Structure 1
Amino acid sequence: MKQEKWFFTGRFKGYSIEGFQKDLLSGLIVGVIAIPLGMAFAIASGVKPEYGIYTTIIAGILIALCGGSKYQIGGPTGAFIPILFGIVITYGYENLLISGFLAGGILFLMGVLRLGALIRFIPKPVTIGFTSGIAVIIFTGQIANFLGLQHVKQHEFFHQNIIELFSRIQTLNLFSLLTAGICLLFILFTPKLFPKVPGPIIGLLISSIIAAIFYPGEVATIGSTYGDIPSTLPRFSWPQITFEKVIQLIGPAFVIAMLGAIESLLSSVVADGMTNSKHHSNRELVGQGIANMVTPLFGGIPATGAIARTATNIKNGAVSPISGIVHGIMVLLILLLFAPYASSIPLASMAPILMVVAWNMSEKHRFYYILKTRTADSLVLTITFFLTVFINLTVAVGVGLLLAIVLFTKNMSQLIVTAKALPDPKDKHKKIKANMVTDTHDCPQIYIYNVEGPLFFGAAQAFSQSIMNTTTDKPEVLLLRLSGVPFMDTTGEASLARMIKEFSKHGTVLISGVKPQPKKMLKKTGLYDVIGEEYFFEHTGEAIDFALKNVNKAKCLGCKHFAFSECTVLSGSKPVPGEKELSS
């Protein structure tokens, strides 16, 4: 393990004053953008807005320092909202901190155990399904603030919250609707008119100023709803972790860890594509783990790599992790200097920011693309999506992965093909082909089978049955051509072992062309020695020669099948060179 892959050595090689200037500018810009997002994500997660700011500061700096991507911007993200909100409602804020701490530990261990590469094996229909479901939850969760509805109670399930919205629609506040509409217009049109100006900040500032000047006190603000944001540093507090709480919260913590790992590594991949660089996935998980273990000690919520903020960081010229550190320091300075002003921000101004975030993360184009294929992936996508929306993310990811595995296994099991074969007499190389076997052209004593596809638990039964059902005539030799079997698991080996045991009662089993992995499996289980090394052949031709020398010559006399070129001699139709022709 190379040191530079895990520590700071080499991360700032060739760094210059010019690079620092670029990092300073990009860090300042991303820091300004991160403030409203941090508060909005915290509010949507059911906690006070300052906790989102604390997370942005602490996690942002630690992820930049310890992570595996030079450009990663860490902090609270929209993907966490449903799971964090569910934990707050079910277990409370204190237990949310413990869940975050445990998730950090899981992420750290994943990195140390070098499991970063495993994340890419999660199927796209699952990730797109739950991401789109999260987007729906975030978007609908902001309708109440957008419309200024009063006395809206938050429920655990999606359908309950929709019913609650309709029951409170008569409390619609036109001032909130106006404020939210102004903010939304600036968010949508500022990037088109002024590409380098952050639309969410402009929309938030202008809508807040308009509300404060023209209709003060008419819309709910952060201060009136959650209290004033303190302009002080977060305090250190060790959570009360007990064994009972660990058992209770390990499930939610695992979901947070998996979601954080997926999003942070996805963000790193996006950064790689934009910069033609290469991140270190395991070090990224270690950095994410450290950040998520430290952040809860200061009241912060779980954090991960933020794709949009990371992309913004790169677009503004970032060249090293210094930009992520500057971004965290920038948020800290704004907290200390301008926190009282943030308390006056209307909730209606925050709502469209989150709605646009939800719209952008919905992956609607990919969702529709997979859906219209009408394949097994479409089913996985749909079920994961609806379970995310109507149940929770934990169930959705679990069921989605299980369903994807089952469907994948079913499809893979259909790939195993066993076909009876013989040499093609018209081919100068006498290639073994499946379409050579007919009722009048077959060898009663030597059965050859081409086996193609992975021999694993899903295909093992079909493999053994397809061969045993056709060997009822009890031939002398069974030759299995395994060159088309790339993989064999213990179930496949056990199926092969049963078949060999049954066939060995009356004949001999030969194997040709076995690949390294299946051969290694056979040696590990001892089946290789049971069969006998002398019965394994690299080439099928060698195995056929061996078989022909060991068949019952008496049964060959008079045979008219002529399955092999040697059969004309063995059957007595042509005399052996140097001998008299056999009588019929």
Structure 2
Amino acid sequence: MNFAASLDFKPKLVSTLKNYSFDKFKNDLVAGIVVGIVALPLAIAFGIASGVSPTVGLITAIIGGFIVSAAGGCTVQIGGPTGAFIVIVYNIIANFGLEGLAVATLMAGLILVALGIFRLGTVIKFIPYPIVVGFTAGIALTIFSTQINDFFGLGLKNVPSEFIPKWGMYLSNFGNVDWITLGVGLAALAIIIVTPKISRRLPGALIAIILVTLVVSLVPGLHVETIGDRFGSLSTDIPEPHGFELSMATINRLLPSAFTIAILGAIESLLSATVADGVTGTRTNSNTELIGQGMANIIVPFFGGIPVTGAIARTMTNITNGGRTPVAGLVHAIVLFMIFLFLMPLINLIPMACLAAVLIVVSYNMSGWRTIRAIFHNPKSDISVLVLTFLLTVIFDLTIAIEMGLLLAVILFLRRVMENTEIKVYSEQLDIAEGSETTHHEMLNVNPGVEVYEIDGPFFFGVATKFDELMRTTIGEKPKVRIIRMRKVPFIDSTGIHNLEVLIKSSHDENIQVVLSGVRENVRAALVNAGVNTLLGDDHICDHITKAVEMANRLAPASATAAAAATV
């Protein structure tokens, strides 16, 4: 097998640079500068909310954003830290420390690369929408909950990470609200909400941070907690790469968290890319995008960064400001790097209440309450899946929600496939055109003692069990020959093959012959590899129903037919 040929890794940067022009560069330059400015407050806020310093948030946006644009499969994707990771990152740091987060992020990157190598990019997109909405809304509520302390100036220390105990502490301490801090937060919130009404191109979060920081810094006697108060003077030194200890014990403990980061990152980045494709008319290479995201998450931990994924808001900002190639994403990372080198002392002055207002708006935009309201008009199964995923995310944690969500996705898929898979039984006469688009109908006479079972759908473990139950519960005289018509079976799995083998053996024990009809080439190859042809006989695997019926009529005892005629 040629591995290089099978690897679906074609970065969009390479293909777009072949026909690149100065006009495209001007558009990408403007878009990159705007996105870099928009990304600044978000990177700082997401870093702080995740339990790390603002510097870590910026480093993640710089390195991760650069790699996503350089190696990804989407022309306009902007990568960096996002709100979706706040909950999982905060919990990992609380339980395993910063080194545990680095190991989990590295492992998540390897998982993402593996998903891309094995061409699973398109599969990720088929996770049911209610599940995605459920845990996105759950994340939004959790992010909102983490900002109450800073927004109201409660001054609480060691706030529980669990949702219910956290709100219990909040409610018992609401008498300690700092009204100046609350006023600063409300002012920032108002600016963020009003700015888009003036112009959608204006970065509301950045304007709020600049204006509120200026007022707090210049008005005498107006003091609220700032980034500098909490984190001290932020370093402008470029972090050097560093390693961390890996052991099987650490890997085993962090594997569930790494899996959660990888799946969440894959879903969010591909969702962002899909939205971008719909606006720009381009087509994302999902497998390349996953590999690019994986590479970013492999490299970022060595510089102390947090998980990276595609960011929908920043990607859409890139598009609306004219960005059309990955060069805009590279420019955005360079702009952030320049800010990191020269403007970090000013970041110390930003009030924590202002960042809390930024994240409250982020959580509101993530909540998707309009989508939730629309889903509540859907079937009850969709509603129950959404509610369950939401509650698991909020009350327990995102790891459990992702795992249960994926399990629910599989169960829903199997249920729908089984509901749409039919098994029909025929005897005496069979119309070979039934169930097809042809208008030419031909009736085949089936001898007494011959029964035809048609499977309409994939013969996997769920359907195999359904077919086995049908065979066991069939009432009446046992046939002499069983024809299993498989023209509409696109694939068969190991359980289907096993059940078929059991059926053939039990039928032979009862002196019942089995003939397979309409077997497709890929299904026949699977049966041959499993040795079913040896058990059954090559001549008993037919490519058309007419051949199968002819054989079955020969195998059914003619004396039985004659005896029946003589009796009449």
Give your verdict on TM over 0.5: yes
Q: Deviations over 1:155-187 (max 9, x none)?
A: 221111111111221111111221111111121
1:332 aligns with 2:344: no
Equivalent residue number for residue 437 of structure 2: none
CA 216–268 in structure 1, closer or farther in 2 if over 3 Å, else same: farther
Alignment of 1:253-402 (within 5 A): 253-402=258-407
Which among 420, 423, 435 is matched to residue 426 of structure 2? Answer: 420
Aligned to 2:477: 473
Inter-CA distance 490–222: structure 2 relative to 1 (3 Å threshold): same
SS at match of 2:224: coil
1:128-277 aligned at under 5 Å gives the runs: 128-214=133-219, 216-277=221-282
Displacement of 1:8: 5.4
Cα distance, 1:278 vs structure 2: 1.9
Deviation track 1:438-474 (CA, whole Å, cap 9, x = no partner) reads xxxx964222333333322113233123224336523
Query: Residue type of the partner of 1:329?
Result: I
Q: Which amino acid aligns with 2:457?
A: G
Shift of 1:354: 0.9
Q: Against the structure 1 CA distance between its residues 497 and 236, is the aligned structure 2 distance closer, same or farther, given a 3 Å change threshold?
A: closer
**Which among 31, 35, 41 is matched to residue 36 of structure 1?**
41
Given that 2:520 and 2:543 are in contact with CA atoms closer than 8 Å, whether structure 1 keeps it comes out as no
Tell whether the 8 Å contact from 2:8 to 2:116 is kept in structure 1 after alignment.
no
TM-aligned CA deviation for residue 336 of structure 1 = 2.3
Q: How far does the alpha carbon of each residue in 1:88-111 deviate from its partner, in whole angstroms, 9 at most, with x for none?
A: 111122322232233223333333
Q: Which residue of 2 aligns with 1:566?
A: none
C-alpha spacing 1:68/1:542, structure 2 compared with 1 (3 Å): closer
How many Å separate the matches in 2 of 1:446 and 1:313?
67
The amino acid of 2:441's aligned partner reads H
Structure 1 residue identity aligned to 2:483: L
CA contact (8 A) 2:127 2:409 kept: no
Q: Residues of 2 paired with 1:344 and 1:155: CA distance? A: 27
1:152–1:164: 8 Å Cα contact kept in structure 2? no
Q: Distance in 2 between matches of 1:466 and 1:103?
A: 44
Which residue matches 1:546?
551
From the CA coordinates, give the structure whose radius of gyration is larger. 1
Alpha-carbon distance in structure 2 between the residues aligned to 1:156 and 1:227: 24
Which residue number in structure 1 is paired with residue 441 of structure 2?
Answer: 429
- Cα distance change on mapping 1:464 and 1:236 into 2, 3 Å: closer
Structure 1 counterpart of 2:525, which letter? K
Contact residue 71 and residue 313 of structure 1 kept, 8 A? yes
Are the counterparts in 2 of residues 71 and 310 from structure 1 also a CA contact under 8 Å?
Answer: yes
Name the SS of the counterpart of 1:372 in structure 2: coil
SS at match of 1:447: strand
Give the distance between the partners of 2:291 and 2:453, measured in 1 at CA: 50
Question: What is aligned with 2:502?
Answer: 498
In structure 2, distance between residues paired with 1:557 and 1:467: 27
Structure 1 residues without counterparts, runs of 5 or longer: 434-441, 560-570, 574-583
Q: State the Cα distance separating 1:431 from its structure 2 match.
A: 4.0
Give the RMSD, CA atoms, in angstroms: 2.6
TM-score computed with the length of structure 1 as normaliser: 0.88
CA contact (8 A) 1:144 1:152 kept: no
Distance 1:430-1:50 versus aligned 2 partners, 3 A rule: same
Give the conservation status (yes or no) of the 8 Å contact 1:152–1:168.
Answer: no
State the alpha-carbon separation in 2 of the partners of residues 289 and 390 from structure 1: 29
Structure-2 change in CA distance of 1:331 and 1:507 (3 Å): closer
CA displacement 1:466-502 (0-9 Å, x = unmatched): 2243365233222222223333222222222222222
Paired positions, count? 554
1:445 to 445, 449, 460: 449
Aligned-partner Cα distance in 1 for 2:388–2:220 = 46
Asked if 1 retains the 8 angstrom alpha-carbon contact of 2:13 and 2:325, the reply is no
Q: Which stretch shows the higher mean deviation, 14-23 or 547-556?
A: 547-556
- For residues 484 and 431 of structure 1, the distance between their equivalents in structure 2, rounded to whole angstroms, comes to 19
Residue 366 to residue 421, structure 1, CA distance change in 2 (3 Å): farther
Identity %: 37
Secondary structure of 2:455's aligned partner? strand
Higher deviation after alignment, 189-198 or 94-103: 94-103
Aligned equivalents of 2:379, 2:441: Cα separation in 1: 44
For 2:176 and 2:346, how far apart are their aligned partners in 1? Answer: 27
3-state secondary structure, aligned to 1:345: coil
Q: Does 1:14 align with 2:26?
A: no
- Counterpart CA distance in 1 for 2:266 and 2:34 is 26
Whole-angstrom distance in 2 between the partners of 1:192 and 1:272: 26
Per-residue deviation, 1:432 = 6.7
How many angstroms apart in 2 are the aligned matches of 1:99 and 1:386? 25
Q: Determine if contact 1:72/1:305 at 8 Å carries over to the other structure.
A: yes
Structure 2 alignment gaps of length 5 or more:
434-439
Range that drifts further, 60-69 or 469-478: 469-478
Secondary structure of the residue that 2:454 maps to in structure 1? strand
> What is the one-letter code of the residue matched to 1:171?
N
Q: Which residue matches 1:488? A: 492
Could you tell me whether the CA contact under 8 Å between 2:12 and 2:75 is conserved in 1?
no
Cα shift readout 1:244-289 (whole Å, capped 9, x = no counterpart): 3333323322221222222222222222222111222222223222
Q: Distance in 1 between matches of 2:408 and 2:162?
A: 23
Greater mean alpha carbon deviation, residues 376-385 or residues 77-86:
376-385
CA 1:339–1:408 in 2, change beyond 3 Å: closer, same or farther?
same
Give the superposition deviation at 1:215. Answer: 5.8
What's the secondary structure of 1:449's corresponding residue?
strand
Describe the SS at the equivalent of 2:462.
Answer: coil
For 1:363, give the aligned amino acid. G
